[in-house]
Amino acid sequence: MKTTVMPLLSVAVMSAFSSAWGTEKYIKIDPTSGKPEYISKEDAKNVAGMPEEGKLCEIAFKDVLIPKVVTEADKRETKNVPGYEFDCNPSKECDEKNEREKKEKKIKEDKGQQQATSKDKQKEIDRLNKLINPPPPAKAPTKEEKEKLEKEKEKVKKEKEKADAEIEKLNGRLKKFERGECALKYFVGAGGKEPGAAEYRLTVDDIKDRKIEHVVCTCQTPAGP
């Protein structure tokens, strides 16, 4: 899952993601340091509003430097400050719940059929073009014949355009399966402010100021066929 949160002038990665995909689902934030750490399923059960495990995706985090405008001695400048980047990966449970493989396969099959239709229609257009404007020494069609062929060609062109439009629509639906089933969820303490799923990079100061206590990735349902 990648979402744009803010214009980043540069982001220096200090370490790789702290955990390999396939295991971790719960993150707790140390209130003093603002540092994330993984916690167990049992510990997560004590968090109010925590979704059940089957409704969560895998989550990972890494250290990053985030450009931030700061004011020092009445001078504004951009500095790279420490922070963390969170990322999600669909879990097996999330994939099974959404019937991901079945839905994706159906969309790809539909796309293949539309591509075949578009290809056939283009062949028909090429054939009609040769009849409308035959290469020498072939005899040119009469005015009546040409008008009939042009009308038929226009009909085939519209059928091809319809197939091409459907292909674009199916491509858009396929993009929803590119790790798009997960969304970040932040748990904040009293008086805190949730940054929202769109913000996946947060400075240490932001984490502390917003009183973020836990972070997970929730399983979302993509649009199916």
Can you tell me the mean pLDDT for 155-170? 96
In a domain, 85, yes or no: yes
Same structural domain, 185 and 197: yes
Residues 187 and 87 in one domain: yes
The whole-number pLDDT of residue 224 equals 43
Q: Which domain-ending residue is among 159, 175, 191?
A: 175
Please indicate, yes or no, whether residues 130 and 20 belong to a single structural domain of this protein.
no
178 pLDDT band, cuts 50/70/90, is low
Mean per-residue pLDDT over the chain, rounded: 84
Residues 94 and 185 in one domain: yes
In the structure, what pLDDT confidence band is assigned to residue 9 with cuts at 50, 70 and 90?
A: very low
In this structure, the answer to whether residues 165 and 111 fall within a common structural domain is yes
Query: Tell me, what's the pLDDT at 76?
Result: 86
pLDDT in the model for residue 17: 57
Range with top average pLDDT, 28-32, 180-184, 192-196: 28-32
Structure token pair of residue 64: 């990053």
Residues 19 and 82 in one domain: yes
Asked, for residue 140, whether it belongs to a domain, the answer is yes
Lowest mean pLDDT among 46-50, 73-77, 113-117, 139-143: 73-77
Domain, as residue range, for 114: 101-175
Does a structural domain hold residue 82? yes
If asked whether residues 40 and 62 sit together in one domain, one would say yes
Is residue 124 located within the same domain as residue 65? no
Q: Is residue 4 part of a domain?
A: no
CA distance 43 to 113: 50
Let me know how long the chain is: 225
What mean pLDDT do residues 47-70 have?
90
Residue 2 lies in a domain: no
The answer to whether residue 5 is domain-embedded is: no
Secondary structure, 3-state, the chain? CCCCCCCCCCCEECCCCCCCCCCCCCEEECCCCCCEEECCHHHHCCCCCCCCHHHEEEEEEEEEEEEEEEEECCEEEEEEEEEEEEEEECCHHHHHHCCHHHHHHHHHHHHHHHHHHHHHHHHHHHHHHHHHCCCCCCCCCCHHHHHHHHHHHHHHHHHHHHHHHHHHHHHHHHHCCCCCCEEEEEEECCCCCCCCCCCCEEEHHHHHHCCEEEEEEEECCCCCC
User: Final residue of a domain: which of 141, 158, 175?
Assistant: 175
Looking at the domain assignment, is residue 44 inside a domain? yes
In a domain, 3, yes or no: no
Q: Both 90 and 109 in a single domain?
A: no
Q: Give yes or no for residue 6 having a pLDDT over 60.
A: no
Q: Are residues 54 and 89 in the same domain?
A: yes
> Which residue, among 224, 114, 215, has the nearest Cα to 180 in the 3D structure?
224
Are both 80 and 115 inside the same structural domain? no
Asked if 149 and 204 sit in the same domain, the reply is no
Into how many domains does the chain fold?
A: 2
Q: Is the pLDDT of residue 1 over 70?
A: no
| Higher pLDDT pick, 163 / 101 | 163
> For 76-96, what is each residue's pLDDT tens digit?
888 899 999 999 888 777 877
Nearest to 34 by CA among 216, 206, 195: 206
